[in-house]
Structure 1
Amino acid sequence: MSLKKNIPADLKVVMVLVLLTDLFVLIPYLSESPLRTALGLPMVLFLPGYALIAALFPARDDLDGIERIALSFGLSIAVVPLIGLGLNYTPWGIRLLPILISLSSFTIIMALVAVHRRKDLADCAFVVPFEEIYDSIRAEVTSKPESRLDRILSIILILSILASVVTLAYVVVTPKQGEKFTEFYILGPDGMADGYNTELKAGENVDVIVGIVNHEYSVVNYSLELWLDNDSMEMPESLRHISIAHNRTWEKPISFVPAVTGTDMKLQYLLYREDNMTEPYRDLHLWINVTEAQDDN
């Protein structure tokens, strides 16, 4: 018997949802779809915990359905931050692709463990009775009620449930426009929020990764400038015109060689918007010390 036939229906659904979420995040055209949000929410809030519960409690009598659902939400909320914390101490950092790969791998691995453990339990394994649920609903809908009033009430109940589901889906995939803002940050050469090389010899580089995240609900053109102790530094033309779509991230490593020596010099990274090039929209700075290079001779 193939592995596909050995996988319980609920775990098949988990794996399919994980793969669909990956596709809707990674494929450019699909990533613009509202379905990305609809798939992303269970990927973060439910599926990791459900797969973990399935692996830990494979037997039918371990937990009842309500307990499994409640614990799935609770463990997902616990597991996802722990995965993010672990990624923070890796070279990849807390970014979309590493988080997606980690969550997907964790969920699928736990689901496969659950498949193996349920297989050993045979008839005592937990299963979600999808067919029984479907037959029960179908019987309620198709069977002739005792009176016309019962039929009308059944139709109203079904329509109410459908309306609630459609309304919930609409609210999830079309969230209200929130506060408009731009994230602006600098990271060290290793992609972490530390490790900045601020103690330099003359001629050495200040290497940082500059990041901009647009949450302005429209395409915004930015411009980046560097200032050292109130003196503007020459910047490449590509950093003068940075166009970023809504909810997109721009990151680029930038090296700067101070032309002067000194202590406690303020190196500023200034971000301007196209509608106001006179005052910085966001600003960050480092305090650097540059000393004369010693002659080994």
Structure 2
Amino acid sequence: QERFHVEFCLKLPGWGGSTLNKSLSIILLVSVIGSLGALGYAIVTPKPGERFTEFYILGLGGTAQGYPDEFVMDGDKLVLVRYNGDETQQATSDSGRVILGIINHEYETTTYLVKVIVDEEPASIYFDKAKMGEIGPIELNHDEKWEYEIGFAPHHVGDNQKVEFVLYKSEERCFEASAHLWIDVKGQG
């Protein structure tokens, strides 16, 4: 029985040359395929971007205004807090309040600690219905956000007191970032 069949004869130009030409052609082909493979791998598995932590303070309205800027003390007790120097935005309180925010962009779970320093002295922090010297540990996954209202109080009367919110990274207490605002503290009367 005779079957129908087709034969193809493929001739590559220059393939009939020397063994050296054939070897170089194979090496070039393998190099191109390897380069395409490496490029594909680089595209599929990109390197992480810049590693950093966002650290910020906001006013009580959740914006970059409405910060406490004037405190009134009676002796060593805080009796009044004004926000943005506005007589209508004031509160009888034991602390000035801000919103503190941290966003982890470190591409790994990171632990943070926050302290507040007023006029170069550590200050008590009012957070989660408690008075404490620091907030932490705060453990955040990559791209996780931590944003809460906290309070602080000055220690003494005086103008132009710097309030520093200091962020430490990890439990080794390595300085990471700080944010600050300026306050005036008046005596009552």
Which residue number corresponds to residue 154 of structure 2? 258
Q: Cα 1:234–1:251, aligned 2, differ >3 Å: closer, same or farther? A: same
- Give SS of 2:67's match: coil
* Superimposed CA distance per residue, residues 210-242 of structure 1 (whole angstroms, 9 cap, x where no aligned partner): 000000011111000011111112343771211
- Give SS of 1:240's match: strand
TM-score, length of structure 2 as denominator length:
0.60
Residue 80 (structure 2) pairs with residue 184 (structure 1): no
Give the Cα–Cα distance (whole angstroms) in 2 for the partners of residues 260 and 286 of structure 1. Answer: 16
Give the Cα–Cα distance (whole angstroms) in 1 for the partners of residues 66 and 98 of structure 2. Answer: 9
Across the aligned residues of Structure 1 and Structure 2, the Cα RMSD in angstroms comes to 2.0
Unaligned runs of 5+ in 2: 1-39, 81-94, 126-131
Unaligned runs of 5+ in 1: 1-166
Residue 233 of structure 1 is aligned with which of 82, 100, 123? 123
- Give SS of 1:241's match: strand
Give the deviation of 1:175 after TM superposition.
4.8
Aligned pairs for 1:1-297 (under 5 A) are 171=44, 175-202=46-73, 203=78, 204=80, 205-235=95-125, 236=132, 239-274=135-170, 276-277=172-173, 279-294=174-189
Q: State the number of aligned residues.
A: 123
Q: Partner letter of residue 117 of structure 2?
A: W
Q: Which has the higher helix share?
A: 1
Q: Partner letter of residue 170 of structure 2?
A: E
Give the deviation of 1:176 after TM superposition.
3.1
TM-score, length of structure 1 as denominator length:
0.39
Q: Note if contact 2:115-2:134 (Cα within 8 Å) is conserved in structure 1.
A: no
Give the deviation of 1:280 after TM superposition.
2.1
Q: Cα 1:291–1:237, aligned 2, differ >3 Å: closer, same or farther? A: closer
* Superimposed CA distance per residue, residues 118-176 of structure 1 (whole angstroms, 9 cap, x where no aligned partner): xxxxxxxxxxxxxxxxxxxxxxxxxxxxxxxxxxxxxxxxxxxxxxxxx7xx85xx653
Using the aligned pairs only, state the percent identity. 37
Q: Partner letter of residue 274 of structure 1?
A: S
Q: Which has the higher strand share?
A: 2
Which residue number corresponds to residue 115 of structure 1? none
- Give SS of 1:198's match: strand
Q: Partner letter of residue 120 of structure 2?
A: N
- Give SS of 2:143's match: coil
Give the Cα–Cα distance (whole angstroms) in 1 for the partners of residues 183 and 112 of structure 2. Answer: 26
